[in-house]
Structure 1
Amino acid sequence: MSPLRYPILSLVLMLSLFACTARSTEDQVCFKRNCVDVSLAQTHEAREQGLKFVTRLEPNRGMLFIFPKSGQNNFWMKETMIPLDIIWMDYARRIIHIERNVPPCAIDPCPTYGPKKPALYVLEVNANHAQEMGLRLGGELEFKLKD
């Protein structure tokens, strides 16, 4: 056996543990094994701002909107610069509506998008990412939030 085998194995193990620890410091929304790191929009101001004026959203990133109570919670794309998938969830974090590849809107009137059922949570991700994650109506998402 090589004398370097155990130090290298130890280093690989430490780096793996560090990567797992670093990853878990982000707020995440997961569907099965597919996770997205999210920024949280929990206040009225943060929900109002959303992803307005964002010119690029990194892969596997998104924004989770958390509302104080369930409701229609319609969205529009005014002043949003990138196409998005928008996913609405009920109180149990079950997907009740998905709008895919919603285009930006620069000129009023901008269309609104939303579910027919009350939603408590909304997730915005890059266009087509919902399909890449395998998201579908009735799917249940898991939130891994720091707080």
Structure 2
Amino acid sequence: MIRYLLVSLLLSSIIFLFGMIKEKKEVCINEKCFELEVAKTQEEKARGLMFREKLEKGKAMLFPYEEGGIYSFWMKNMNFPLDIIWINKDKKIVYIEENVPPCKTKECPNYRHEGKYILEINAGLSEEYGIRTGDAVDLPHLKGYLNKMEQK
């Protein structure tokens, strides 16, 4: 009986620990990969990277949308500049707004373009890594999530 309880406890612990380990999500462009944070809900998309002190180099935030369209971003309540990259349904870069500064005033400019996925990375990395319009974007660890989203 005790042996059965110990085995059950051990298996439960292992299952719990595997559940805590998240699959690393990343996006790769020109063999440069970024660890992703994905804004899935409307609330996460509205908040984005606002109020954060910084975005670590090598990290990015992805905003996936169910439909392609014109999506607008602003830098209200941001503390650091970004490169904002619009990506189409074929996962090709269609537009890059580079070195977008934070906005600390009441009215902030909007940066808008057509796309299906929008990627935010640290300012200057598009130029540093040679990321250009027309480049293919690889989202290997998000294929299941993106396929589910596209089927809705």
Q: Separation in 1 of the partners of 2:83 and 2:90?
A: 20
The structure 1 residue matched to 2:107, chosen from 90, 106, 109, is 109
Alignment-derived partner of residue 4 in structure 1: none
Asked if 1 retains the 8 angstrom alpha-carbon contact of 2:99 and 2:123, the reply is yes
Give ranges in structure 2 of 5+ residues lacking alignment. 1-21, 146-152
Structure 1 segments, 4+ long, off by >4 Å, are none
Output the TM-score relative to the length of structure 2: 0.76
Q: Separation in 2 of the partners of 1:56 and 1:47?
A: 17
Asked if 2 retains the 8 angstrom alpha-carbon contact of 1:97 and 1:114, the reply is no
Q: Separation in 2 of the partners of 1:130 and 1:63?
A: 14
Asked if 1 retains the 8 angstrom alpha-carbon contact of 2:30 and 2:131, the reply is no
Q: Does 1:144 align with 2:147?
A: no
Within-5 A mapping of 1:3-82? 25-82=23-80
User: Over residues 81-139 of structure 1, what are the superposed CA-to-partner deviations in whole Å (9 max), with x where a residue is unaligned?
Assistant: 11000000100111111010100001121000122xx3100000000011222210111
Give ranges in structure 1 of 5+ residues lacking alignment. 1-23
- Aligned residue-pair number: 122
Q: In the TM superposition, what is the alpha-carbon distance from 1:68 to its structure 2 partner? A: 1.8
Alignment-derived partner of residue 131 in structure 2: 135
Asked if 2 retains the 8 angstrom alpha-carbon contact of 1:37 and 1:60, the reply is yes
Q: In the TM superposition, what is the alpha-carbon distance from 1:80 to its structure 2 partner? A: 1.1
User: Over residues 54-103 of structure 1, what are the superposed CA-to-partner deviations in whole Å (9 max), with x where a residue is unaligned?
Assistant: 11111110100001211111100001111000000100111111010100
Alignment-derived partner of residue 88 in structure 1: 86
